[in-house]
Amino acid sequence: MNIGLDARTVFSSQPRGTGRNLFDAYSRIPALRPDWRFTFCHRRRDNRCSLLEADAGLVEAGGGGSARWPDNVRLRLIDLPGDRWDAWFQVRLPLAAWADGLDLLHLPANAAPWWCPVPCVVTIHDLAPLKVQDAPSARARRRFLQGVRRGVRHARHIITPSRATRDELCAEFGVAAERITVIPWAPDRGIVAESGRAGEAGVLAAVRERYGLDRPWVLNFSGASRRKNAPGVLAALGHLPAEVRQRYHWVLTGCNSAEHRAKLMAQAGALGVAADCRILGFVPHGDLPVLLGNAAALLMPSLHEGFGLPLLDAFACGVPVLTARCSSMPEVAGDAAVYCDPTDARSIAMGIAQVLEPECAAELVRRGRERVREYTWERTARAMCEVYERAALGVRPVTAAVGGEVPCR
């Protein structure tokens, strides 16, 4: 069987959640089906390895050459300069899938093209753009909605990472539950692999100096989207006692545009908390094990998440977690987190104070280490293979893969 993958996010110069998740799964899948062929369709125009390939040790000693994937993996460059009207996804990828004789195409980013001549499986991670509207992006929201509708209409089967996303799809789009398989993700392999070095004196000192951290810190993966709730985190700091707030640096990462950072800094200044905050743009993946592994806590009071992978990363690194009691977050975190109302700054502040209390933090770390054992990339990869096999054959996959859905305690 020949399985194709839209692998653009895997080979991105700044790979983020979807790309890293795919890489962690696909670094295991080819070995599980050595008699299958896998075609990774991408747009990388040079022969250098990606950051993910380097992290995984797929590159020969000496560095910047091409990566060495298993023999049953083919890297398929589909070039299209300019790419007006999303023609790479809408036309070039479907044509390449047909020309290559693919038995199945995996579309991992919430959408399907208008037309696809081969059977496809679509992963829909979340419906966040439809649930939490970002004011400047009405056009992007419409495009997202159209992509999901095409995915629902054309996919032979749908994968979601959580029951929460599955239930939203069923409610919002009338999708039959038997067309959806819930396959949870697992902790980021790069963060877990490097977490043992995170406390080394030289490594820690370099990261402290790089980001101006001369106190303990609390971490928040903010991003640019409103649903990540960076303004809510800052508002909560204004409700903390000064002696608590000034004990830590409050590190917000992923605030990529200068305009977004300026707005957050202006808010922090108005609240009188700017001196305590470090509002950062894109942080190299190599720094994340140190920033997360040495954090006093992870704050994730998101307004909406399709899964919430940083929760598992924090559990794996032994970091206590505050998160929101909505969408998928209670499903993933179970009893291993402190919960808050993400729309209420006082509730977030109360949660922060609780998660930083030493006895509570120690208990959360213990529960988190137990919880994270339920999530492995091996289970995820095996479940994906099962979906591919049955979907390619036109057989309905089981709706709860990975040996049954991960329980919510």
Percent of all residues in the chain with a pLDDT value above 70, rounded to a whole number? 89
| Contact predicate 372/315, CB 8 Å | yes
Report yes or no on 407 lying in a domain: no
- Quote the pLDDT of residue 139: 83
Question: What's the CA gap between 209 and 297, in Å, rounded?
Answer: 20
| CATH number for the domain harbouring residue 64 | 3.40.50.2000
Report yes or no on 400 lying in a domain: no
Instruction: Quote the number of domains for the chain.
Output: 2
Tens of pLDDT, residue by residue over 99-130, are 999 999 999 999 999 999 999 999 999 999 99
Tens of pLDDT, residue by residue over 378-396, are 999 999 999 999 999 887 6
In a shared domain, residues 271 and 240: yes
| Contact predicate 133/172, CB 8 Å | no
Please name the helix (run of DSSP H) or strand (run of DSSP E) that holds residue 277, with its range, or none: strand 277-279
**pLDDT(402) > 50:** no
Helices 230-237 and 258-271 cross at an angle (nearest 10°) of 20
Domain membership of residue 209 as a residue range: 189-372
Q: How far is CA 194 from CA 16, 44, 60, 71, in A?
A: 17, 27, 20, 27
Query: Whole-number mean pLDDT of the chain?
Result: 90
Report yes or no on 137 lying in a domain: yes
Residue 333 burial (CB count, 10 A):
28
- Quote the pLDDT of residue 81: 74
- Quote the pLDDT of residue 19: 81
Tens of pLDDT, residue by residue over 322-343, are 999 999 999 999 999 999 999 9
Question: What's the CA gap between 60 and 66, in Å, rounded?
Answer: 8
Tens of pLDDT, residue by residue over 128-179, are 999 988 766 788 889 999 999 999 999 999 999 999 999 999 999 999 999 9
In a shared domain, residues 177 and 270: no
In a shared domain, residues 80 and 229: no
Question: What's the CA gap between 94 and 311, in Å, rounded?
Answer: 35
Backbone angles phi, psi at 292, to 5 degrees: -80, -45
**pLDDT(400) > 70:** no
- Quote the pLDDT of residue 396: 67
**pLDDT(193) > 80:** yes
Tens of pLDDT, residue by residue over 34-93, are 999 999 999 865 555 565 665 555 655 444 556 689 999 999 999 877 777 889 999 999
Identity at 299, one-letter amino acid code: L
Give 209: exposed, middle or buried? Use CB within 10 Å, 0-12, 13-18, 19+.
exposed
The pTM (predicted TM-score) of the whole model is 0.91
∠ CA 298-303-308, rounded to 5°: 50
